[in-house]
Amino acid sequence: MNSTMPVKRIIKGLNEFQTNYFTIHQEMFRQLSQGQTPEILFITCCDSRIDPNLLTQTKPGELFIIRNLGNIIPPHGSSTSEGAAIEYAVSDLNIKHIIVCGHSHCGSMKAILQLNNLSDEMPLVHNWLKRHAESTRRLLRENYHGCDVETLLKIAVEQNVLIQIANLETYPVVRSKLHGDKLSLHAWVYQIETGEISAYDAKNSKFVPLSSDPFPVPDPLACLQAS
């Protein structure tokens, strides 16, 4: 296969975007050029199978998005780009909702189940997960003995999302907004094979199919402890 074909296809897509979509929506892009006013910060994995705008059927400018391996948010004080983006989104953009969205078949969650195997071939991935996903790994190791691999992966995905929700609360700007009821946190899991979104229902301490009820997480730390 010609190695340039994927890039040529992308360039063709760019040309079609400029000729068709951009032409039809010129006024929207003119307004976007004046600034951004998203109300939702969407944190998810960099997995190529996840498209936040496609998933939520949102337009450019409606979501402020953070993506990385495992939709991980290091606690405040880690001096990461994720922290800087959160601070900017909440403080400057006045974000009203933060959604952490994990997904089924997550390679990062599979990796933490066999973390030591990564150290030689992918040391940077190993270091990222060892440093920032240790809470998830230890929770699984100490509380879920005897689970089959599929069940363990499902638990890992869900618990990892809840841990990131709890980590968000360590940011002073997030904690202040939560205290003033000016910000809501949401824990989601996307099932790639069905298209279904499950949201964490704090009242019942479990993930349930998301319908019209957004299920905001009222107290991230309490919810994590109850799960």
pLDDT digits (tens, 9 = 90+) for 80-137: 999 999 999 999 999 999 999 999 999 999 999 988 888 888 999 999 999 999 999 9
Q: Which of 107, 108, 126, 104 is nearest to 117 (CA)?
A: 126
The token pair at 134 is 């240790």
Quick one: pLDDT at residue 219? 62
Quick one: pLDDT at residue 48? 96
**CATH code for the domain defined by 38-226:** 3.40.1050.10
Quick one: pLDDT at residue 220? 55
Query: For the chain, which residues make up each domain, given as ranges?
Result: 1-35, 38-226
Distance CA(22)–CA(12), nearest Å, equals 14
pTM score of the predicted model: 0.91
